[in-house]
């Protein structure tokens, strides 16, 4: 019997070798195979605690009802508790008026959830002694220039990643909406009058946030998208992820975006190239399977990607945020922005959170580092459902924990 088993193993290895060398290296089949055979990327869903099984069944029922009530085209949900993926599922369809269902490898645009990758990549470069959080932008990007020389000379990576640059909120996001290239917008920064001192005021950015991409390229000689692939996507097992417009267009399994109509219902729209000009701010694409892997990284379960100590630096609040910015979170006590992440004091629970919206895609991610529980929700249509999804999850989680 052992003889036949050894023959089978040799034959199996030969087949894999033929596939690997016969198919181009960037083929999604290779990526999927690599994810399947890597123990680090397999999802551990067997032997789930019955309490958690009941909880996820209840949350899944809420998702189904909430989506049906608003006729939301499609969505996908991942829930991780400790190191266990307790729910990983697609809902609805990739494209309205079809039966093409969303599955766990269907790709969505992450919108501003993309911002969370920048500090992790930066922490990796810091570990390699290539950067520090308080490095000045001008020391790495010699062509960087603002209207005020003091701002040019003293703006740091920390200011950029915490949205404390002193420039007006959403500086030149209107030009991104108009389809201008980042390289054409960048020189216009020197025309902008600062509204606050460096490091003293929170004002959300997309163009300025993407300066971290310039810094990363100047430091490594590699594009930001390539660095994400090499340093985060591949090691974390994010086999469907990409960070370019071409990346989402070339994916064979994509959730198409939809706009909500004023009178109700949805309208199918095209995938736009807007905001792929600012990849650090809003240019990452991923499936819910990828995002379950990303949650594992963020919750400290993948020290080979980033250590818990480095994560603690990233999640340390940098600036308090006015609660008017978070009006969709009733019951919120306080809010801060850390490095690429929001920190929320929600019903006596400290959450690491971010939301995103672009081109008809709406996304949410949140986790409790203390309890090591987190959720990601991706959707191809804006809705009340997705706006409520994280709060509803933690309300249900609190109720479950109270009963225990």
The pLDDT value given to residue 43: 40
The pLDDT value given to residue 222: 98
Report the alpha-carbon distance of residue 11 to residue 21 in Å, rounded: 16
Q: Looking at residues 83-88, what average pLDDT do you find?
A: 97
Report the alpha-carbon distance of residue 259 to residue 141 in Å, rounded: 38
Q: Where are the alpha helices (DSSP H) in 90-228?
A: 117-127, 137-140, 149-154, 157-161, 173-177, 182-185, 211-220, 224-228
Residue 29 vs residues 23, 35, 106, 284: alpha-carbon distances, Å: 8, 10, 14, 20
Q: Whose CA is closest to 185, among 48, 278, 58? A: 278
Average of per-residue pLDDT values in the chain: 90
| pLDDT tens figures, 360-370 | 999 999 999 99
Burial (CB < 10 A; 0-12, 13-18, 19+), residue 50, is: exposed
The pLDDT value given to residue 45: 53
Q: Do 114 and 279 touch, CB atoms closer than 8 A? A: yes
Q: Whose CA is closest to 235, among 365, 121, 83? A: 121
Q: In this structure, what DSSP letter does residue 194 have? A: P
What percent of the chain has pLDDT above 90?
84
Residue 100 vs residues 61, 94, 174, 234, 254: alpha-carbon distances, Å: 21, 6, 34, 28, 10
Q: 3-state DSSP: the chain helix, strand, coil percent, rounded to 5?
A: 45, 20, 35
Which of 10-14, 42-46, 59-63, 169-173 shows the lowest mean pLDDT across its residues?
10-14
Report the alpha-carbon distance of residue 379 to residue 255 in Å, rounded: 8
| pLDDT tens figures, 204-246 | 999 999 999 999 999 999 999 999 999 999 999 999 999 999 9
Per DSSP, what are the bridge partners of residue 277?
Answer: none
pLDDT, greater one: 2 or 192: 192
| pLDDT tens figures, 352-395 | 999 999 999 999 999 999 999 999 999 999 999 999 999 999 99
Q: Where are the domains of the chain?
A: 2-37, 50-121+220-403
Work out the angle at residue 78's Cα, subtended by the Cα atoms of residues 336 and 36, and round it to the nearest 5 degrees.
125
| pLDDT tens figures, 86-115 | 999 999 999 999 999 999 999 999 999 999
Q: Whose CA is closest to 382, among 365, 364, 397, 360? A: 360
The pLDDT value given to residue 328: 87
Phi-psi region of 186 (alpha: psi -120 to 50; beta: other; left: phi over 0): alpha
What is the torsional sign of CA 384, 390, 396, 402? negative
pLDDT, greater one: 111 or 264: 111
| pLDDT tens figures, 283-293 | 999 999 999 99
Report the alpha-carbon distance of residue 311 to residue 367 in Å, rounded: 13
The pLDDT value given to residue 42: 36
Say whether 25 sits in a helix, a strand or coil.
coil
Phi, psi of 46 (to 5 degrees): -85, 155
CB atoms within 10 A of CB 261: 9
For residue 20, pLDDT beyond 60: no
The two structure tokens encoding residue 10: 């040799």
Q: Whose CA is closest to 243, among 181, 211, 290, 203? A: 290
Burial (CB < 10 A; 0-12, 13-18, 19+), residue 26, is: exposed
Q: Do 185 and 176 touch, CB atoms closer than 8 A? A: yes
Q: Do 389 and 377 touch, CB atoms closer than 8 A? A: yes
Q: What is the pTM of this model?
A: 0.89
Report the alpha-carbon distance of residue 214 to residue 216 in Å, rounded: 5
What percent of the chain has pLDDT above 70?
88
Q: Do 384 and 98 touch, CB atoms closer than 8 A? A: no
CB atoms within 10 A of CB 78: 27
Which of 18-32, 76-90, 171-185, 206-220 shows the lowest mean pLDDT across its residues?
18-32
CATH architecture of the domain covering 50-121+220-403:
3-Layer(aba) Sandwich (3.40)
């Amino acid at each position: 019997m052992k003889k036949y088993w050894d023959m089978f193993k040799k034959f199996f290895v030969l087949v894999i070798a033929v596939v690997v060398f016969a198919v181009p290296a960037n083929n999604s089949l290779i990526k999927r195979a690599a994810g399947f055979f890597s123990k680090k990327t397999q999802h551990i869903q067997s032997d789930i605690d019955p309490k958690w099984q009941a909880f996820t069944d209840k949350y899944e029922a809420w998702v189904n009802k909430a989506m049906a009530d608003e006729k939301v085209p499609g969505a996908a949900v991942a829930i991780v508790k400790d190191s266990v993926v307790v729910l990983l599922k697609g809902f609805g369809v990739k494209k309205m008026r079809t039966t093409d269902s969303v599955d766990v490898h269907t790709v969505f645009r992450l919108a501003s959830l993309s911002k969370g990758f920048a500090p992790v990549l930066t922490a990796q470069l810091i570990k390699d002694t290539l950067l520090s959080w308080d490095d000045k932008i001008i020391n790495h990007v010699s062509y960087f220039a603002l209207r005020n020389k003091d701002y040019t000379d003293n703006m740091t990576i920390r200011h950029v990643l915490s949205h404390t640059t002193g420039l007006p909120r959403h500086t030149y996001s209107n030009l991104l909406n108009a389809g201008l290239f980042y390289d054409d917008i960048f020189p216009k920064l020197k025309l902008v009058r600062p509204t606050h001192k460096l490091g003293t005021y929170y004002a959300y950015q997309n163009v300025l946030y993407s300066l971290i991409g310039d810094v990363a390229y100047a430091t490594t000689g590699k594009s930001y998208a390539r660095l994400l692939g090499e340093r985060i996507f591949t090691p974390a097992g994010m086999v469907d992820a990409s960070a370019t417009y071409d990346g989402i267009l070339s994916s064979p399994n994509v959730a198409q975006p939809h706009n909500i109509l004023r009178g109700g219902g949805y309208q199918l729209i095209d995938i736009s190239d807007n905001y792929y000009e600012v990849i650090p701010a809003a240019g990452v694409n991923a499936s819910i399977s990828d995002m379950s892997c990303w949650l594992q990284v963020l919750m400290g379960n993948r020290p080979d990607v980033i250590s818990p100590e480095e994560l603690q630096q990233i999640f340390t609040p940098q600036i308090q945020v006015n609660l008017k910015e978070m009006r969709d979170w009733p019951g919120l006590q306080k809010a801060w922005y850390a490095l690429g992440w929001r920190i929320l004091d929600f019903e006596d629970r400290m959450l690491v959170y971010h939301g995103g919206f672009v081109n008809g895609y709406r996304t949410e991610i949140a986790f409790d580092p203390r309890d090591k529980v987190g959720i990601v929700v991706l959707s191809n249509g804006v809705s009340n459902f997705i706006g409520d999804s994280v709060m509803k999850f933690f309300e249900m989680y609190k109720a479950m924990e109270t009963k225990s």
